[in-house]
Amino acid sequence: MSDQRPAISALQVEQRTFPPPAGFAEGAVAADPGVYERAAADPEAWWAEQARALEWSTPWHTVCDRSDPPFFKWFVGGALNASANCLDRHLATRGERVAYHWEGEPGERVAITYRDLHERVCRLANGLKSLGVGRGGRVAIYMGMVPELAVAMLACARIGAAHTVVFGGFSAESLRDRVNDFAATVLITQDEGWRNGRTVPLKQNADAALEGAPGVAACVVVRRTHGEVGWTPGRDHDYADLVAAQDPACPPEPMDAEDMLYVLYTSGTTGKPKGIVHTTGGYLTAVAATHRMVFDLREDDVYWCAADIGWVTGHSYIVYGPLANGCTSVMYEGAPSTPGKDRLWAIAARYGVSILYTAPTAIRMFMKWGPEHPAAHDLSRIRLLGSVGEPINPEAWMWYREHIGGGRTPVVDTWWQTETGAIMVSPLPALSTTKPGSASRAMPGVSVEIVDEAGHPVGDDQGGYLVITEPWPSMLRTLLGDDERYVATYWSRFPGRYLAGDGARRDRDGDLWLLGRIDDVMNVSGHRLSTIEIESALVDHPTVAEAAVVGRADPTTGQAIAAFVTLRAGVAGDEALIGELRDHVAKKIGPIAKPASIVLTDDLPKTRSGKIMRRLLRDISEERHLGDVTTLANAEVVAEIAEMAQAQRSAEG
């Protein structure tokens, strides 16, 4: 026995449990509890069964080739086309079914059927061919949330070109770096996007990026706002003109299962962005299967993933998964507060949304805005809620279930990464008894473990490193152009196992609790504390909407806990409240977790996909020069928080 301290201490005790609602299992996609055992008994057979739900032009001969780890291959020898699986396959049975109910921020509404989408994709696919793109080609896409973004991805997939989507909120420089790293020859963009009642100058940014991207020979421009934009004759092509001239039919290119489907860059917190490489057969298999099972997809569902397609969540669960399953989705272009703070609920009511998938950061914002906004709309069709992107604080989970789900719906907290391609850990809504803040367990066919520093599995309720112990079909294949970094980043710390970079613990019922990024773990008097449990204890207080904690250097305890807290709408903060919040944490999870300081702030620094950036809060707390803030969605809050923290330090003397 070792007397080693746990890799991460576990503090939180959550007692509430929610079994599936009565009747939910009737006709559910995953209603047989034996599914976990069956998949575990033969994971490859399980995944092969999922792959058979797709249409293959050539069957595979080997489910998983493990001859050169960690360079695994799936469905070797098989051929298929992702666009054909998302479109053509549905035409005979559901061609007139709506694929996307699209709503523009200013209010336009368009219903796009599978047949419409198929024709649009074929035309653009032919248009891309006319620009010299074919099998093995590379296309960059820099757009807002317009239907043409999904069309562009599928058009690439149709002709065997790989795409990289660059989130429309990124700068010209980020775009340039990604376009060059990817070696794109064509860029698809739009004149301007809509966000918060203002236009986003996408083409202008694209022009600036292309000045430093000589490999791009053609730029295709969707007219969205019809605003004035620069034009480079010979290079720039009007999207509408390009597609109007094309044949509305384009046979899909049969692709090898292991041909690249796309690259998506993850900025991470440090270093050069990593180009995550996803391939065709395994990726499509896993996103379609997980989308069906986790969201219990039924024929009459109206599904809405409110993420941006610029992130992996949008790739897997707005485009490829839902379309492979022939489902009806909602797609919204703009900000959730435009024109009012009830915009999302007006949309959900209008289309009868039955499944909603969004992020904790959005849920905490809805909490902050108040329950009157969802209460003003009929959300009675909602039957299932999903969460993704960060650990969800139990109080945010409860609020989501209560105020969006009417207290009736299961909430599925789905853990996964750009690298994993598809959901890895999640409840199955008809089978799992959920707990607020727990992501339940690994999906059927997926094996995870929690290990200590030495790589040994930890016991129940012990925090440690989350690893995935077996290859899975939608795993990243490498980092574009950098096999070594792929091996070093994910497969070296615990050889033979994939290091996710997140902490986790498993409770006595076998349920997993994600503890946040390993880099954010604090060390207070030798106790390794995760951020999430302390943050959740703060969010548990009725005045708190959002909280972030970090470890700041301390001469006596090694690190001291510094908290940053955003209050709910209408709550005024003062010294008394700060004292109350510190006591609340001590009472809820123990004195070791009591924050040494709490700064009240209107907002927290977030990445553009909404994840709290604790690194910057550490810099502020330790009075360090603030490094790169360009990857922040809300850089202006940083100076504000720094000032408040400074004021507090002077007040404390």
Residues that bind ligand 7RM (CB under 6 A): 266, 311-313, 388-391, 413-418, 439, 500-502, 514, 517, 609
Beta bridge partner(s), residue 384: 355
Cβ-based nearer residue to ligand 7RM, 390 or 470:
390
Q: How many CB atoms lie within 10 A of CB 590?
A: 17
d(CA 468, CA 494) in angstroms, rounded, equals: 10
3-state secondary structure at position 261? strand
Cβ-based nearer residue to ligand 7RM, 329 or 418:
418
Minimum separation from the CB atom of position 474 to ligand 7RM (A) = 12
Minimum separation from the CB atom of position 364 to ligand 7RM (A) = 14
Minimum separation from the CB atom of position 273 to ligand 7RM (A) = 12
d(CA 247, CA 233) in angstroms, rounded, equals: 24
Minimum separation from the CB atom of position 67 to ligand 7RM (A) = 28
Q: How many CB atoms lie within 10 A of CB 244?
A: 10
Contact 511, 394 (CB under 8 A): no
Looking at the chain, how many residues does it have?
653
CA dist 85 to 113, 154, 319, 322, 325, Å? Answer: 15, 10, 12, 11, 9
Cβ-based nearer residue to ligand 7RM, 311 or 345:
311
d(CA 452, CA 46) in angstroms, rounded, equals: 30
Minimum separation from the CB atom of position 32 to ligand 7RM (A) = 24
3-state secondary structure at position 304? strand
d(CA 413, CA 438) in angstroms, rounded, equals: 7
Cβ-based nearer residue to ligand 7RM, 328 or 426:
426
Minimum separation from the CB atom of position 413 to ligand 7RM (A) = 5
Q: Is the bond preceding 70 in cis, omega lying within 30 degrees of 0? A: yes
Contact 606, 613 (CB under 8 A): yes
Cβ-based nearer residue to ligand 7RM, 209 or 388:
388
Cβ-based nearer residue to ligand 7RM, 274 or 584:
274
Burial grade of 647 (CB within 10 A; 0-12, 13-18, 19 or more)? exposed
Cβ-based nearer residue to ligand 7RM, 273 or 558:
273
Cβ-based nearer residue to ligand 7RM, 329 or 414:
414
Cβ-based nearer residue to ligand 7RM, 116 or 502:
502
Cβ-based nearer residue to ligand 7RM, 81 or 361:
361
Minimum separation from the CB atom of position 477 to ligand 7RM (A) = 16
DSSP track, 523-585? EETTEEE-HHHHHHHHHTSTTEEEEEEEEEEETTTEEEEEEEEEEPTTPPP-HHHHHHHHHHH
Minimum separation from the CB atom of position 176 to ligand 7RM (A) = 22
Minimum separation from the CB atom of position 307 to ligand 7RM (A) = 8
Minimum separation from the CB atom of position 216 to ligand 7RM (A) = 26
Pick the closest to residue 21 from 419, 430, 420 (CA basis).
430
3-state secondary structure at position 234? coil
